[in-house]
Every structure is written in C-alpha cells, then in structure tokens.
Structure 1
C-alpha cells in the first residue's frame, strides 16, 4: 500500500513549545526542592563528626544539638527566650513596615515629599544600622526601646527602597490611560498606584523580615535579660557550642517559615501577575 504523507504543523514564529519549558524545569517545581540543600549540609555535617573530621568541642554533632534542644524545650528556657525575641522582632517589624511604606507613598506620589524624604533616607541607607548602636545607646540607653528602634530602622529602609522603586517605575501607559479616562486621584491611587507597588512592597517585606532577625541577634547581646541572642551570648562564655547551634537553628526555622508565608501571601495577592518563578 502506498504510504500517505503526513504533514506536521510547524510552530509559528515567536511560538515557544511547552516541551522546552518542561526540559528547563520551569513548568513543574519539585516539591520541597529548597530543603535538598539543607539535607546535604546536614549529611555532610554528620559525616564529618562520624569520621572525626570535625572537632565536637567547636562544632557539636547534630544528634547532640537535638538532645540539647529538647532539654531546653523541656525546662522552658528555649520557649521563654524565643517568645521574648519574637516580641521584639514583631514590634520592630510592624512599626518599620508602617513607617517605611508611608514614607514611600509620600515620596513616590509627591515631588515635594520626594525632595524632603528621599535624600535623608538615602543617607541613612549608606550608614549601617548596626553602626548606630553607640549613638542610640547614648540617646536611649540600653533598654527595650533601644533594641526595638534599631530593628525598626533597618526595616524602614528596606520597605522604603523597594516600595518607592515600584512606585516610581509604574508603566507610563497606565498613567496616560488614567489621564485620558479622567479618573480621580483617589481612583488612580487605588487602581494603578497600589497594585503597581505591591511587588516592591512584598519584596521589601521579605527583606525586612530577614533584616529584623539579623538585627535581633546583635541587639539581644547588649545588656539583654532574655532572648535568643542573650542565650547565645551566655553559651559563648561557657563554651556551649550545642546551645549556640540550637539558637541558630531556631533563627533559621523562623526566618524560613516567615519568608515562606510571605511568599504564599504574595502569590495569592499577585495572582494576576504571570511570572516564570516566584
């Protein structure tokens, strides 16, 4: 029988086959892929201890850290200090997000506001927040106010920079369309400005959460009576590497969980944005 020629449709110009995207791994993310690197680090750590490549006096074994963590949980030490750290981080983060976002809106929506606000905050950005510790101690003492203010300063800068950048880079076509349609300023802010600034807002929020934990480690070692930083400082004085590692694990877990929650909220709120990866 004669063979019938079958014509295979060729993709049009500019068309990207989905098969290629799958080969690049951009279509179906691997579940818990971000934990793969953590598992490899833990395996290398355990192997180093088992074969004597690592000194347990300087780096405790993973099973020793787990045993110490369970002991600190049972006697309440870890819970009390963790709650104290969470309270400081939450207060500083909450105030910083409100202040940083508000300043970004004032600066991004008004030329006068930008003239008055952007310059001082750019100068502050060039000065590390931790470099302000001596001055803040001189002004505020070494109590809770000093600790919360230092956390807040770092959050304000991160929120301002990212939110302000989103506000000032909104597509001009939307601005021109709003002018043609004759929408009011309130409608323009609600329908164009706020949705356009949300990507920068969420990026700033993620950076702020991480920054608040970094600042917390330092401020809690300055005359603090509780907190994970204080627990680490005491463990350093007594050479308790296992306690230090427990506190670092707690910091890492809270940082990972908080970042994952923000990413989840971002996906829900910004579901209208089509991106290759979040």
Structure 2
C-alpha cells in the first residue's frame, strides 16, 4: 500500500481517499412528490369501490361510489345542489373573513403590548375553553335564528386558532431581533414590517389552515338549524327520507372543499415563506 507523508506521520493513500469519498447519509424526507396528498383519498376511494363491487357493503347504508356520483349529477342538473353549494360557500366566506380579521388584530394587540395581552389573552383562553357549538342557544337568543348567528359562530370557530397560533409565533420571536431593531433605531412601522410580520407568518399560516377547516366543520352543524338551503340542510332532509346517497354527496363535497382550501393555503404559504429552508421544503 502506498503512503504519503504529512509532516512526520505517514497516511495511507487508500484510507485517505476512502475517508474523503465516504457517502453522506441523507436524513431529509427527499423530493416532494407531485400531487402526493391525493394518494390517501384515492386509496380510500379505490377500497370503497372494490368493496362495493364485491358486495361487501350494504347499499342502503353505504351506496357505491358510482351511485353517489349519479345522485350528485342528478342534484346538479336539477339545480338544487348548485344553490346549496353557493349558500354554504357564502356563509363560510363571511364567517371566515370576520374570524380572520378578528384573530389577526387581537393577536397583534396581545403580542405587541403587555396591556393588550392582559386584556385579551385571558378572555380568548376562556372563550377557547367553552365549546363553541354550545354557544348556539345563547346566540340564537341574542341574534335571532337567521343568518347572523350562523356567521357569528363560524367567525368564533375561525378566530380562535388564528389568534392562538399567531400570538404564539409573536411571543416566540427572539428578543435579540428586538434589540437589533432598537440599535438600528427602526420605527414602529419598520419594526412590525421587518421583524414582527416575518416572525409571525409561520404560526399565522398554521392557524389559517385550522381556521379554514374549522369554518367547514362549523357550517355542517349550523346549516341544520332553521335553514332552508345549504349542504347541511340538504343532508338533514336526506336523513329524514333515508337517502344515504345524498348524505354522502354532502360529506364528499365538504371533504373536497376542505382539501382544496387547505391546499390553496399551503401553496400561498410556500410562496410567501419561500425564504425559509425547512424539512418540508
């Protein structure tokens, strides 16, 4: 074996090259797979179709996928499904917009001011501990049984996770960045734009994803209370007539809406936070 001399200690060439070319162990999850989040739902759909074709499922309780699809096409052609979807999206949109605004503003007020934290954080924690759907009877007495109380309940369901995650992200900003901002003599606006917003965005997007999902979860319950349209109302009526296929149509639409809205938030998050180098990226 040949060797080279480094100073006074001979080093075998083979050992030196083996040490230099040793492969580095890859610990990251690897490259992101295209449309990977559709794999799980497609597997469930395939299992459902196979079990239905094999006669393993009771058609009265769990209709086959093609039966549910035929029902959805019929409801869409009749025009009732379009009306119900538009009504549900409108309710969820109004409630989500109000909850998003309230959650962000309250988180900023509590995260940037000790006085704001003293006044806001404890109240929000109490609100979080009270089951939101348990507030329905009280809100009906306050706001009536129309659309207003439904939107208010959705707003509460949305604002709580947005507030909690945004406030937690604000509280976790390293104090050294605050000291750096003071040394650089940044104004309040510059401090918020350059330090607070980038530091709070990761937590905000986590809360936003939870809030988007929460708006759909609250909607399915609220639309069964004195409603004359909407997906929840459609499912409630189908229950009275024993139409499990219509109930599954409503559940699948809710699931698709939830998946699509979560995917949209994820795409926005990746673009806004493209400067980060994380395990998921």
Q: What is the TM-score normalised by the length of structure 2?
A: 0.91
Structure 2 equivalent of residue 206 of structure 1: 209
Assess, with a 3 A threshold, how the Cα gap between structure 1 residues 58 and 34 changes in structure 2: closer, same or farther: same
Q: What is the TM-score normalised by the length of structure 1?
A: 0.92
Matched, 1:80 2:86: no
Structure 2 equivalent of residue 185 of structure 1: 188
Answer with 26-35 or 107-116: which moved more: 26-35
- Equivalent residue for 1:20, pick from 12, 26, 31: 26
Larger Rg: 2
Structure 1 equivalent of residue 17 of structure 2: 8
Total equivalences in the alignment:
271
Q: Deviations over 1:181-224 (max 9, x none)?
A: 22222211111011111111111111000000000000000010
| Aligned-partner Cα distance in 2 for 1:268–1:30 | 17
| Aligned-partner Cα distance in 1 for 2:127–2:256 | 30
| Aligned-partner Cα distance in 2 for 1:214–1:34 | 20
**Can you give the 5+ residue segments of structure 2 that lack an aligned partner in the other structure?**
3-11
Matched, 1:139 2:148: no
- Equivalent residue for 2:278, pick from 250, 275, 278: 275
| Deviation (angstroms), 1:9 | 6.1
Structure 1 equivalent of residue 7 of structure 2: none
Structure 1 equivalent of residue 220 of structure 2: 217
Structure 1 residue ranges, 4+ long, deviating more than 4 angstroms after superposition = 4-7
Q: Secondary structure at the match of 2:135?
A: helix
| Aligned-partner Cα distance in 2 for 1:34–1:186 | 39
Matched, 1:42 2:45: yes
Q: Secondary structure at the match of 2:57?
A: coil
Structure 2 equivalent of residue 103 of structure 1: 106
| Aligned-partner Cα distance in 2 for 1:247–1:8 | 64
| Deviation (angstroms), 1:16 | 9.1
| Deviation (angstroms), 1:47 | 2.0
Q: Secondary structure at the match of 2:17?
A: coil
Matched, 1:160 2:163: yes
Q: Secondary structure at the match of 1:245?
A: helix
Q: Secondary structure at the match of 1:91?
A: helix
Q: Secondary structure at the match of 1:105?
A: helix
Q: Secondary structure at the match of 1:274?
A: coil
Q: CA RMSD in A?
A: 2.1
| Deviation (angstroms), 1:134 | 1.1
